[in-house]
Amino acid sequence: MCELCKAGLAQPQPHSHAGRPGKMTSRRGFLRGALASAAAMAFLPAFLARPAAAQGLPAGVGDPGRRTLIKGGHILSQDAAIGDFTGDLLLEGAKILDLAPAIDAPDALVIDAAGRIVLPGFIDTHHHQFETSLRSYLPDGIMFGDPTRPGAATYLDNILGIFSKLYRPEDVYIAQLFGGLSQLDAGVTTVLDVSQIHHSPAHSDAVVEGLQAVGRRGVFGYFEGYGPGLQYPQDARRLRDQYFASDDQLLSMLMGGEVYLPGVDPMVLWNLGKELDLMVGLHVVGSLGMQETMDRLIPHYTDRHLFIHMTGMSDAAWDRAKEVGAHISLSVPIEMQMRHGMPPIQKAIDMGMAPALSVDVECTMTADFFTQMRSTLTLQRALANQIALDQGPEAAPALLSSREVLEFATINGAKALRLDHKTGSLTPGKEADILLLDATALNVAPLNNAAGAVVTLMERSNVETVLVAGQIRKWQGALVGQDIPALRDRIIASRDYLFDAAGVAVPLFD
């Protein structure tokens, strides 16, 4: 019996100026100056005492017809025809107009990008954002029960089997908003949300409204739910018509097409996706007994399928996925952590199917993309290096590079979600989903390799400025227009409700 069935969920130096050495300050002088500064700060107006990150936000960036010049940055375009160089990036409204070593645009507002790495935003191709409320609840958990771990909470039993069924629309909304803003703060400008809480149309509407409130690009994944108000999958038609009839917006839709739902023929879901002209996404996990079903469905694979995880699948399934141009999303840290099976990074590379990356579940692992990139890089290199040591370098696969992993996190993600006409690279005509990463920071300087610094050194604190479709969403280290303390109070209240309803104590020190 497959593990989903068992769970009862589903089936099969000093300061200086102008280069002059600075004068060393004595400890007493330093303390005297610090105290005087602190006293003066108490009398400054609030707007002067606020953090520097909240000052100088340029007005009108991203407005129709408004030109903005991002000047003097180290550009990683993720477009082979454009390449990488230090120079300028010109925007007009929501779109990228030009890139060059130097651009003369006297009418443009200028954003100084000196010492910054400029690149397209990261693209998360699979994220259960409803679980933001459950962050770190399952840090040591795996997907399903293990007789050597009696009583241990598992993902299927506790997250999906208990907590997911308790969500109200308001819980869904704040999880989407808070989780989305957290990722935006970390430079993830596009997400595919995969939330199995579509218990009613109101729950589905709350997902859309939460995605909209974040102000980033998103793909609404319409997946299953539970309970008497369930209208899945037929409510897909209403959702498509009501929210996603236009391509000229930040949000789009994907049809959930799982193969493990009890009493649901996956072909009904796949065909509904085809009827509505939507991509179809599904989890493909060998340790949950899905290989046989996926083999049976081989004739129906298309280039509009997104296979998430793809662990433990047959060569025939891989061959067909390659043949039709299906897309692969890997969640490497989670796959290693939660017993999905070995992440098939080398298989995907060998097949010429360079994958996209995704974060999966925050109940167990962080949702920042620096973690995803480093995990992917180090896993592939660990496996390849061991083969080189055991069998000789000639027998080992080529070592994955930082540049390649950066492609997985950007342009490959756009292709996997069929959004590469809009985002994923800094290409003229595409929408301006752009990151400015601080390469002068203590953890990065001196900068010697741009792609390498992003993948192997950087983290959330280096994400200085974020634009989505030309609009500034984070400026010099601070999210724009968001009351984070108030939102934090709301998600804590939601967490409290969910744990109370589940009859579970928050395991703060377990």
- Give per-residue pLDDT as tens, 286-311: 999 999 999 999 999 999 999 999 99
Taking the C-alpha atoms of residue 504 and residue 496, their distance in angstroms, rounded to an integer, is: 10
Cα within 13 Å of Cα(120), Cβ side = 35
Assess whether 370 and 470 both reside in one domain: no
Mean pLDDT of 452-479: 98
Residue 154 in domain: yes
pLDDT at residue number 5: 52
Instruction: State which of 7-21, 26-40, 126-140 shows the largest mean pLDDT.
Output: 126-140
Residue 66 in domain: yes
pLDDT at residue number 270: 98
Percent of the chain with pLDDT strictly greater than 70: 89
If residue 376 lies in a helix (H) or strand (E), which one and from where to where?
helix 369-391
Cα within 13 Å of Cα(40), Cβ side = 7
Assess whether 112 and 139 both reside in one domain: no
Assess whether 67 and 130 both reside in one domain: no
pLDDT of 41 > 60? The answer is no
Mean pLDDT of 154-158: 98
5 compared with 238, residue with greater pLDDT:
238
Q: Which of 478, 432, 460, 360 is nearest to 121 (CA)?
A: 432
Range with lowest mean pLDDT among 3-17, 223-237, 437-451: 3-17
pLDDT of 452 > 50? The answer is yes
Query: Nearest 5°: CA angle at 138, between 135 and 140?
Result: 130
Residue 11 in domain: no
Assess whether 342 and 311 both reside in one domain: yes
The tokens of 358 are what?
């995704």
Query: How crowded is residue 264: how many other Cβ atoms within 10 Å of its Cβ?
Result: 17
Residue type, 145: G
Domains in the chain, number: 2
pLDDT of 313 > 60? The answer is yes
pLDDT at residue number 2: 52
pLDDT at residue number 56: 85
pLDDT digits (tens, 9 = 90+) for 316-339: 999 999 999 999 999 999 999 999
Burial of 147 (0-12, 13-18, 19+ CB in 10 A): exposed
60 compared with 10, residue with greater pLDDT:
60
Q: Which of 365, 460, 356 is nearest to 404 (CA)?
A: 356
Residue 21 in domain: no
Range with lowest mean pLDDT among 17-21, 112-116, 160-164, 308-312: 17-21
Residue 169 in domain: yes
pLDDT at residue number 465: 98
Please report where in the chains the tokens 């241990």 appear, as a residue. Answer: 152
The mean pLDDT value of the chain amounts to 91
Residue 87 in domain: yes
pLDDT band at 36 (very low <50, low <70, confident <90, very high): very low
The tokens of 37 are what?
């500064």
Q: Is 155 helix (H, G, I), strand (E, B) or coil?
A: helix
Residue type, 97: L
N-term to C-term CA, the chain = 32
pLDDT of 425 > 80? The answer is yes
Assess whether 129 and 260 both reside in one domain: yes
The tokens of 102 are what?
């130097």
Residue type, 347: K
pLDDT of 11 > 50? The answer is no
Mean pLDDT of 267-273: 98
Q: Is 469 left (phi over 0), alpha (psi -120 to 50) or beta?
A: left
Taking the C-alpha atoms of residue 375 and residue 413, their distance in angstroms, rounded to an integer, is: 17
173: which DSSP letter? H
pLDDT of 347 > 90? The answer is yes
**Domain enclosing residue 235, as ranges:** 122-416
Assess whether 86 and 190 both reside in one domain: no
Give backbone dihedrals phi and psi of 37, rounded to 5 degrees, phi first: -65, -40
Mean pLDDT of 12-36: 36
pLDDT at residue number 32: 39
Assess whether 108 and 130 both reside in one domain: no
Please report where in the chains the tokens 């997911």 appear, as a residue. Answer: 164
pLDDT digits (tens, 9 = 90+) for 61-108: 999 999 999 999 999 999 999 999 999 999 999 999 999 999 999 999
Whether 433 contacts 469, CB under 8 Å? yes
pLDDT at residue number 4: 56
CATH number, residue 93 = 2.30.40.10
Assess whether 455 and 411 both reside in one domain: no
Residue 79 in domain: yes
The tokens of 194 are what?
């995969």
pLDDT of 163 > 70? The answer is yes
